[in-house]
Structures are given as C-alpha cells and as structure tokens.
C-alpha cells in the first residue's frame, strides 16, 4: 500500500494508483475532461493539475503515480484559477450552440463551465470551420471537439477499429477519419463507442425521434414497437433510477401511452434466435454439416467488422439474423396475417442500446424479407429518454403494463442476451437439449459471465467436451479470431467449437446508444438486472417458450426450415477496407 497526504488528510492506496484514483477514493473530486474510467490517462486537457510538496510544477493527477510520502494539494485559489483559465481557453475554440446541441444539459464541458461560474468570454474567439459528417448513424461535428482524445483512444485501443485519428497540428488540430474521408468510407463499424465516450456534442447518434412522432401521428400507420434486453436495465438512469433497475413493465405501459398499437419484446426474438442458432450449432457439431467453430452474429458492429477484416471466415458465421430483425419481419408477416393488417401500414420501431442497429436495418435485401423494410426506425436508449421528456410523461408514476404475447412473451434465456456471455449461455441451454433430449439440471453457466475481455471454458454434453469462447470489445475479438484463422489456414484443430462476440465492452448493456457516463461498475449493475430477471423466471430455456413453439407450429414449421431461412436468416459479403 502507498501512504500519502491529500489536502492534509492521510490516505492509503494500492500501488500503481494515480493521484486522481487516490483522490476519488477519499471523496475528493478533481475535474477532468480527457480521462474516462475505461481509458488510459491521456493528460490532454490539463484540468486535473495538482501541487506536490517539493515540486515547483503543477502536475497532472491523471497520469502522475501516487508515491509514498507525497503531500498533495488538489484545490487552492491558484489551482482553481488555472483550471478556470483552461476552461476559458477551451471556450474560445468552442461554438456557443448549447441550445441546439445533442448533449445540451448532459455535457461534461457545459457542466464544468457552470461549476466554475464562467459567464463571459475573455479570450478572442477562434473556431475553425469543418463540415459535419452525417454519412453514418454517428454524426461527427469537429467544431464541437475539445481534442480530449477519448474517441480516438476508444476507437483505436478498445475497439481496434482505427476509424478516427488526430489530423493537422497546433490550433488546427482536429478529430477526423484517417485520410479525411467520409465516415461511411472509413473502417468505422458504427458501434458508437466514440459517441458514448465523447464528453461534448462532437460525436452523437443521429436523432430520429421526430420520425417516430410523425409515424405515430399518421392515421395510415399502424405503429408497433419492441425493446431490446439491455434497454430495460438502463433507461431508468435518465429518470433517477439506479443502474440495473429493470423497468420492463413500465416501458410496456409507456409505449401504449405514446400511442403504439402493439408492444412487442426483442427478448421474444432472442428466444427465436436461440432456436435457430442452437440448431445451426447442433447441425455442425453433432452432424458435421458445416465448419466449426460457429460464431454468433447478432451484433451488427461485429458483422460489419467481420466482413471488413475476416471475410475469409464467413463460412463460420451463424446466418441467423439479430433478434430485433426477426421480430421486425414477423410483425409484417405472421402478426399481420393473424391480425388481418396490411403489412404496408405497419411501422416497426426498435428501441435499442446500439447505434449500429440504425445501420443494420438497411444493410441487405434480407432485411426486407417481408416485402417491406422489416424494421423502419431504430431509436437508441438515449433517444427514448428524450422522447419521454418531449411527451411530458412522468415516467416514475407510470403503472405496470403488459406486452402483446404473440411476439412479446419470453423466457430467461432471452433477457440475458443483453450481457456479454448471455447469448452463449442461452444457446448452450437449448443446444444441450437438442443433442441429448434432456434439459440441464443447472442452466447457469457462470464461466461465461463477467467483464473479462476473453472468457474460455469447456462444457460437457453427455461425455463430449464443447470448447467455447466469449469475447467483447473488438480488440479482444481480434485475439480470438486470429487464433481461429491460424488454425483454419494451417489445418490445425480449431481451438473452439462455439464463439460469442459482442462489439461493445460489456455487451449490449454497454452499447453505444446507452445513457452516458458508463463505467464497468455500471455495466455490472445493468448485467445483474438481466441475470436477476432470468433467475426469477419459471421458463429459462428458449425452447420452452410456448409462443415460440406456436409460431413454429402455425407458421415456420421447424428451426432451420425453408421458411425460417427465408425470413430469419441472412448472408454476408467480404468488404475489405485495408490491411494493417
């Protein structure tokens, strides 16, 4: 342990801690803009300066290691005035567009301006003008960038995508795509982690709440909605609830209050995905019909990444669509037929934790398998929070509601899809049944839970070992995929039989469209909300969902049938970007 003194108080902290880390543990808040808990210190903003006895310099707390015997001052008039000057200089290069900004009232820079009572501009204004990039669901506005470097770090180091970098030098330094090309021509996979980590409105998701309002007010439209697993345990953060609070039934009530004609649940699609995906795995593992490993594909950012960098591995990817796409196509086929509704009138709105889902709904002809665009609009969790506030609804006072059972009933396996490892765990519950004809006595697979970047384990199915891996955060995924590619190319035994991939750290609970200021602690709390719901449910395996069984009996036939492939499966194409 390291012993030091901060503001006259003796403290102890673990070896390797920074001054910033140590101060936070004793409830001392040192302001910073460039440091995020997910990221290594960049020391770019200069706000976290502190004084250390024996040094003539002000040092940056985020990157200065705590040492034995240090005597540190974190706040005094000189330090506060220096921080104010740093903020005033940032303001001189920042547009005064708060009222029109997507981060208004939820902006870290705006909060600090308020904390430091900055009411005037004392430095000459210089704002380089750069065009706003709206070519993807991620909107990049360089004029609002404060050059903290968070987006570059998360894109390059956490996600291994390298779509963003610093261009130019000095006062002209800016965030842009490598080569200054449009974002949709770059390696970007639309995961939105850059927007989730940006402290200002320089990177935000494309807001489509107006389009949803227009659809709801159109008398010719029959608007239906679905919510992803991870949304229900994060949306409450926008209304004062603790992270992980499961608000499924309040959301059902909310959607009916907003005017949706039917309320579905993406968890139903997750149960359906499992029957198709587990069916694929058993075909390959037990019957040799296709190469191993089988790799999950319900994450659209991962699919984009795979097509760009692992196009040679397409044969290993599950062809099953993501759960919300399955619910989308069924709303315009099965549901429309059962309710005698013209599918042309149905507008499907998906509420997702993800910015890449906005891209996914347009990507291939298979996403129009109903004869129409199967999902019409995707809203992120953040957009839904804004929409509730626009509607003037007191969210906390809403009563509980219910979903429409036809495409809304789900089991515990469906709800854990939102956490890293959840898809694998859900698939194994049904794959075991498909191979043995028996249900597991214990359906919990604790080895695939948690935030470790790569999780590897084996599962025994009646004496046969199944080697599995779970990876989240695309930099971790590369480690797994390179190992598999090496084995395949050199005709070596594959290291795994079944792999789950999620692009975002923590899985969908940490998605790029979730409420801001996420940390690993918040990811854990959101995941716990999903696992707690699973543990409390009577039905915990997807193959026991009676409404899914009814769907197959009345409409699809059986998993992997011709009709199931036509509606619930998709194809992939290599789209190489560049070689690193």
Instruction: Give me the CATH number covering residue 61.
Output: 3.10.20.740
Contact 32, 20 (CB under 8 A): yes
Q: For residues 238 and 378, state if they share a domain.
A: yes
For residue 10, the enclosing domain spans 2-75
Considering the domain architecture, whether residues 281 and 338 belong to the same structural domain is answered as yes
Q: Which of 190, 205, 220 is the last residue of a domain?
A: 205
- pLDDT averaged over consecutive 10-residue blocks of the chain (580 residues)? 91 90 92 94 92 92 94 95 96 93 95 94 89 95 94 96 90 86 94 97 96 97 98 98 98 98 98 96 93 96 96 96 98 98 98 97 92 97 97 96 95 96 96 93 95 95 93 94 95 95 97 96 98 96 96 97 97 80
State how far the Cα of 511 lies from the Cα of 530, in Å rounded to an integer: 15
Burial 35-45 (b: 16+ CB within 10 A, else e): bbebbebbbbb
Q: Are residues 214 and 201 in the same domain?
A: no
DSSP 8-state assignment for residue 357: H
CA 315 to chain centroid, in Å, comes to: 26
Please list the residues that pair with 10 across neighbouring strands.
5
Do the beta carbons of residue 424 and residue 498 sit within 8 Å? yes
Quote the pLDDT of residue 580. Answer: 44
| Shared domain check, 169 and 295 | no
Distance (Å) of CA 506 to CA 199, 446, 473, 521, 524:
20, 15, 8, 10, 8
In a domain, 578, yes or no: no
What is the structure's pLDDT at 578?
Answer: 63
Let me know whether 6 and 101 are in one domain: no
Q: What's the confidence (pLDDT) of residue 207?
A: 96
* Dihedrals phi, psi of 239, to nearest 5 degrees: -130, 20
CB 38 within 8 A of CB 119: no
Q: List residues with catalytic annotation.
A: 277, 280, 298, 318, 357, 360, 366, 508
Residue (of 187, 473, 205) closest to 352 by Cα position: 205
Within this chain, do residues 134 and 268 fall inside the same structural domain, yes or no?
A: no
Q: Which of 353, 317, 325, 320 is nearest to 504 (CA)?
A: 353
What CATH number does the domain containing 173 carry? 3.30.70.20
Q: Which of 542, 518, 505 is nearest to 244 (CA)?
A: 518
Q: Are 276 and 180 found together in one domain?
A: no
**Cross-strand partners of 164:** 177
At 107 the pLDDT is: 96
Indicate the length of the chain as a whole number: 580
> How far is Cα 380 from Cα 368, in angstroms, rounded to an integer?
21
**Boundary-marking domain end, from 205, 228, 257:** 205
Q: Yes or no: say if 316 and 292 are a contact pair by the CB < 8 Å rule.
A: yes
- Please list the residues that pair with 12 across neighbouring strands: 3
How far apart CA 247 and CA 396 sit, in angstroms, is 10
* Total number of domains in the chain: 3
Residue 534 lies in a domain: yes
Contact (Cβ atoms closer than 8 angstroms) between residue 512 and residue 192: yes
pLDDT of residue 128: 85
Rounded Cα–Cα distance for residues 29 and 95 (Å): 27
Q: How many angstroms from the chain centroid is the CA of residue 391? A: 25
In a domain, 381, yes or no: yes
């Amino acid at each position: 342990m390291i012993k030091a003194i901060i503001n006259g108080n003796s403290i102890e902290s673990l070896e390797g801690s920074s001054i910033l880390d140590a101060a936070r543990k004793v409830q001392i808040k040192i302001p910073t803009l460039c440091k995020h808990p997910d990221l290594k210190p960049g020391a770019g903003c200069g706000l976290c300066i502190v004084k250390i006895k024996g040094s003539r310099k002000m040092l940056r707390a985020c990157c200065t290691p705590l040492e034995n015997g240090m005597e540190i001052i974190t706040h005094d008039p000189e330090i506060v005035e220096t921080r104010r000057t740093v903020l005033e200089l940032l303001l001189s290069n920042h547009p005064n567009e708060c009222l029109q900004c997507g981060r208004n009232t939820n902006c870290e820079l705006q909060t600090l301006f308020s904390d430091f009572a900055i009411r005037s501009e004392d430095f000459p204004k210089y704002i380089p003008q750069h065009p706003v990039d709206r070519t993807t669901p991620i909107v990049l506005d360089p004029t609002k960038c404060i050059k903290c470097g968070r987006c570059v770090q998360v894109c390059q180091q956490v996600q291994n995508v390298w779509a963003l970098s610093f261009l130019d030098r000095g006062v002209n330094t800016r965030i842009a795509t490598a080569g200054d090309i449009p974002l949709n021509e770059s390696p970007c996979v639309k995961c939105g982690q850059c927007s989730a980590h940006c402290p200002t409105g320089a990177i935000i998701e494309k807001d489509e709440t107006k389009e949803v309002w227009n659809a709801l007010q159109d008398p010719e439209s029959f608007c239906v909605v679905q919510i992803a697993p991870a949304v229900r345990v994060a949306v409450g953060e926008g209304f004062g609830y603790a992270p992980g609070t499961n608000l499924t039934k309040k959301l059902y009530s909310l959607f009916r209050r907003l005017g949706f004609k039917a309320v579905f649940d993406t968890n139903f699609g997750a149960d359906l995905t499992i029957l198709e995906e587990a069916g694929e795995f058993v075909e390959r593992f037990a019957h040799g019909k296709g190469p191993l490993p089988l790799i999950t594909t319900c994450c659209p950012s991962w699919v984009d990444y795979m097509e760009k960098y692992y196009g040679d591995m397409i044969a290993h990817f599950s062809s099953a669509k993501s759960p919300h796409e399955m619910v989308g196509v069924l709303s315009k086929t099965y549901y429309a037929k059962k309710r005698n509704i013209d599918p042309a009138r149905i507008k499907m709105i998906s509420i997702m934790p993800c910015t890449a889902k906005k891209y996914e709904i347009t990507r291939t002809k298979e996403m129009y398998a109903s004869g129409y665009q199967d999902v019409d609009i995707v809203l992120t969790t953040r957009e839904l929070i804004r929409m509730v506030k626009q509607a003037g609804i007191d969210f906390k006072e809403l009563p509980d509601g219910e979903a429409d059972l036809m495409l809304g009933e789900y089991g515990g396996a469906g709800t854990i899809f939102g956490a890293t490892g959840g898809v694998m765990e859900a698939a194994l519950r049904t794959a075991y049944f498909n191979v043995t004809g028996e249900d597991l006595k214990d359906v919990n697979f604790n080895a695939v839970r948690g935030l470790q970047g790569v999780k590897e384990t084996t599962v025994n199915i009646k004496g046969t070992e199944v080697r599995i891996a779970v990876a989240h955060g695309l930099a971790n995924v590369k480690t797994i995929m390179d190992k598999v590619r090496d084995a395949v190319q050199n005709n070596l035994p594959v290291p795994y039989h079944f792999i789950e991939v999620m692009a975002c750290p923590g899985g969908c609970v940490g998605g790029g469209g979730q409420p801001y200021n996420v940390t690993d602690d918040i990811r854990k709390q959101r995941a716990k909300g999903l696992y707690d719901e699973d543990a409390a449910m009577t039905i915990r395996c997807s193959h026991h969902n009676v409404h899914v069984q009814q769907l197959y009996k009345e409409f699809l036939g059986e998993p992997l049938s011709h009709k199931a492939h036509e509606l619930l499966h998709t194809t992939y194409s290599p789209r190489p970007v560049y070689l690193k």
